[in-house]
Amino acid sequence: MANYQAEYRSKVVSVDEALSHIKSGYSISSAFAGNEPFTLLGNLHKLQGKVSGIKVFTSLNLAKYEFMNNPAYKDTFDVQSNFMMETNRQAHKAGLLTYMPGHLHDGTSRWISHNGMNVYVGAVSPMDKHGYFRMSLSMVHERILLEHADLVIVEVNPNMPIVFGDNELHVSDVDYVVEVNTPIPTLPKGAIGPKEKAIGEYVSTLVNDGDTIQLGIGAIPDAVGAAFMDKHDLGVHTEMITSVIADLVDAGVVTGKKKTLHPRKIVATFALGSKELYDVLDNNPAIMIMDGSYTNNSWVMAQNDNMVSINNGLAVDLTGQVCSESVGSLQYSGTGGQNDTAVGAIHSKNGRSIIALKSTAKNDTISTISAQLPLGSVVTLSRNNLDYVVTEYGIAPMKGRTVRERVNNLAAIAHPNFRAQLKADAEKLMLW
């Protein structure tokens, strides 16, 4: 029998020793979200003065780092991200980080094709008796990064849950191990107010018992999930497993019995949420954390009959174009898997693509529904790829509707203070 423990011990080094193997001109990529290696990234800036021309590809960072957020390190590290959280936004506004557009299912492979790939850093669960670690909380892009990396460095964290799926990593494929004992990152549920609650209740009327759902991140998806508590036998094929999905599992709402692809399994590419969520995931044979190129392949998702994609928007124009990632020209989040899941849903038998958003922003002073998207806004989702838009004022059907019908439907779910102006703007722009 192979002595995996001996091989493991031979690869354990300090964080400084592990990072010392990074050379000038290298491209480094970090694991995603819950697999983020906080200790390695937290010490990366110490390479300044020793190396130069380092590209760092990150996504959905959950902590602030010197190499990313401190302008003193700008000349050493070229930081790139394909999904913004608050720490990324701070770096972006300061000119310390640039955004890379792309869909979740293939964005990383496209980045590698241009930049190459030298170093992978990521957190994993402790090794099992067979020599395998688990990349428990994300497989968004970990697999393709590992396949291209020349150097693999992992943080082994005993607090990481054991989650199943296509997420194993053998000790023989690892170059260096850094042992840590840090808390697993959590993400609080969004604050659900009356508007979010109303949106959730409207969305709930569009979802039937036995449907397979995909939910996004934030207060609106959490409100939507909370509104599903009276549903039966829902399935899950989603980009992200959130705390509200764990609530639905605990309540017996999610069973997966009616799924046509991977029945009785909860399929996702990453998970992020509460400690209670991680308890649900831990050693649960119903969970499948799969590669993002699989879960978010629209044609894979479409194999689920009754697939319902439910995503957030920031702004919608009167023809149905959706901006979900920028505030004007300022990048706020990212494309993520929104287009992947929406296209999968509309090609599913009896599938539905839903965009949900509050009707206003800035204390009801700005309508999120407008005749034209604000200058510089990114069109995240084509008007051709959605069936419904939902606000706290109701549901606007889009499927099969003409531009004139869309204008009327969307104006009807806008805040009452803006409806007349929307109609007038539509006439002026000849939106019919």
d(CA 318, CA 328): 17
Lookup: tokens for 215: 């939910």
Lookup: tokens for 8: 């493991």
SS3 assignment, position 83: coil
Residue 48 per-residue DSSP state: B
Q: Which residues of 331-348 are buried (b: 16+ CB within 10 A; e: fewer)?
A: bbbbbbbbbbbbbbbbbb
Catalytic residues: 239
Q: Which residues of 205-224 are buried (b: 16+ CB within 10 A; e: fewer)?
A: ebbbebbbbbbbbbbbbbbb
**99 beta partners:** 81
d(CA 329, CA 367): 17
Q: Give, for 155, the enclosing helix (H) or strand (E).
A: strand 151-156
SS3 assignment, position 148: helix
d(CA 6, CA 25): 33
The number of beta carbons lying within 10 Å of the beta carbon of residue 291 is 19
Task: Give residue for tokens 């894979």.
Answer: 300
d(CA 64, CA 86): 9
d(CA 64, CA 287): 30
Query: Beta strand pairing status for 168-170 and 132-134?
Result: antiparallel
